Structure 1
């Protein structure tokens, strides 16, 4: 009798557990981006692509979604690290035009908070190194390989500027910054290794597979099929590596 009882317990536990895991996976795959996140994707992608007429509409939609003026400015500033100053500045100039038009129409947009002061007790390099470890969940190895070994200067710039000066600013969350990053990388093309890395980071900072599939759909809609096909392929590779 005891043996039957144990078997029943085992059957219950191991029968229900796969169902629970399956349900969790389904939930992860059906989670969607909220309106603000969708706006971040569209603004970043269109700015990187240089499609300013479409960007004007997305900037207005971003404000209507609840993003503050400072949050949108921060997205546009963030983009320069991946697409360069010209694209970023044209995006900011386009945003200035939108704000002037909305003000002329009596629309008062919320400016929002500015970035908090950064604790500079540690060096920029060490702060950037810590931010990168937070993003990836991987401890930085002191031995450098690949481009970091070939050109140590750019590795220093990445730590001190990209991950310290930019990612440390708290106007945007890590997940919002990563959405902006993968949007830029998908739009400019030919940077699949970087896209792969940042899609991995997206999962590490809390974005779910379903949300990343939806991101690819937005790229398809506003940038084009070719870019979305590449993004989907890289995303599939990332998700496959997690199984």
Structure 2
């Protein structure tokens, strides 16, 4: 059968002139994977190549796939994802995947950027200070999640209330308020990370609601799941689909 022309074209857009070692040593596998991931899957999604690369990078961080991340990051830069956008995807992963998972990706990102002659650090993207992070965090969490954090602040036992405060000042105030990615992009990436890591279905449902609130409709989320399938596998894809259908049932 061989790798079809659409798959070759889409792959070459990301990796022009790349000679795959796996294509030489595992040709049958690469034939199946490339035809699926770089052609068949793309027939069922409206995400453009830049959007696709962003969500794939977020998924790879959540799954701890540092080598594939470096490869796909190079492809992302080749098609126009900016260094700041890549950095912000990595930073946004910290409050959701945790620094233990993200640490290696900070170094991997710097390594790829420096290989390309990009001087670090990049321009700062923070919009908050120690004094404003809490209020600005509450402001933006209300845009994305309604009164969810306010309810936690009002109802949690006193000895647990600091977690709700952290959601406002750290999770949203320190990270979500940054420039470089829009509120819609950040919510989509969070959905991707939660779907890809698995085991966070209650939080994923919450962020499905957030996505719908900020303008990422069900079709956008379905398109995203479709793009991720070759990289995260069927079990997590089907779990994400079940959560999506539970929160936003198909209209009869």
Say which one has the larger Rg. Answer: 1
- The answer to whether the aligner puts 1:126 opposite 2:138 as a matched pair is no
2:94 matched residue in structure 1: 80
1:9 matched residue in structure 2: none
Q: Tell me the matched-pair count.
A: 207
2:103 matched residue in structure 1: 89
* SS across alignment from 1:240: coil
Contact 1:132 1:163 in 2 (8 A): yes
1:185 matched residue in structure 2: 194
Give 1:200's match in structure 2, choosing from 209, 213, 227: 209
Contact 2:152 2:161 in 1 (8 A): no
- Evaluate the alpha carbon distance shift between residue 116 and residue 185 of structure 1 in structure 2; reply closer, same or farther with a 3 A threshold: closer
1:144 matched residue in structure 2: 154
- Evaluate the alpha carbon distance shift between residue 70 and residue 141 of structure 1 in structure 2; reply closer, same or farther with a 3 A threshold: same
Distance 1:44 1:169 in 2: 17
1:171 matched residue in structure 2: 180
1:240 matched residue in structure 2: 249
1:5 matched residue in structure 2: none
CA offsets per residue over residues 120-153 of structure 1, 9 Å max, x none?
7x743332221111112448347634xx447211
Distance 1:178 1:213 in 2: 14
What TM-score, normalized to structure 1? 0.75
Distance 1:144 1:241 in 2: 34
- Evaluate the alpha carbon distance shift between residue 153 and residue 242 of structure 1 in structure 2; reply closer, same or farther with a 3 A threshold: farther
Consecutive unaligned residues of structure 2, counting only runs of 5 or more, are 1-43
- Compute the displacement of 1:62 (Å): 1.7
- Compute the displacement of 1:112 (Å): 7.5
- Compute the displacement of 1:119 (Å): 7.1
- Compute the displacement of 1:82 (Å): 0.8
Contact 2:50 2:81 in 1 (8 A): yes
- The answer to whether the aligner puts 1:40 opposite 2:54 as a matched pair is yes
Distance 1:228 1:86 in 2: 24
1:51 matched residue in structure 2: 65
RMSD over aligned CA atoms reads 2.8
Distance 1:112 1:101 in 2: 15
CA offsets per residue over residues 160-219 of structure 1, 9 Å max, x none?
111111111121111111122111111221110100010111111111222111111122
- Compute the displacement of 1:241 (Å): 8.9
* SS across alignment from 2:215: coil
What TM-score, normalized to structure 2? 0.72
Distance 1:242 1:203 in 2: 15
Consecutive unaligned residues of structure 1, counting only runs of 5 or more, are 1-29
Give 2:75's match in structure 1, choosing from 61, 65, 74: 61
- Evaluate the alpha carbon distance shift between residue 143 and residue 50 of structure 1 in structure 2; reply closer, same or farther with a 3 A threshold: closer
1:159 matched residue in structure 2: 168
Contact 1:182 1:199 in 2 (8 A): yes
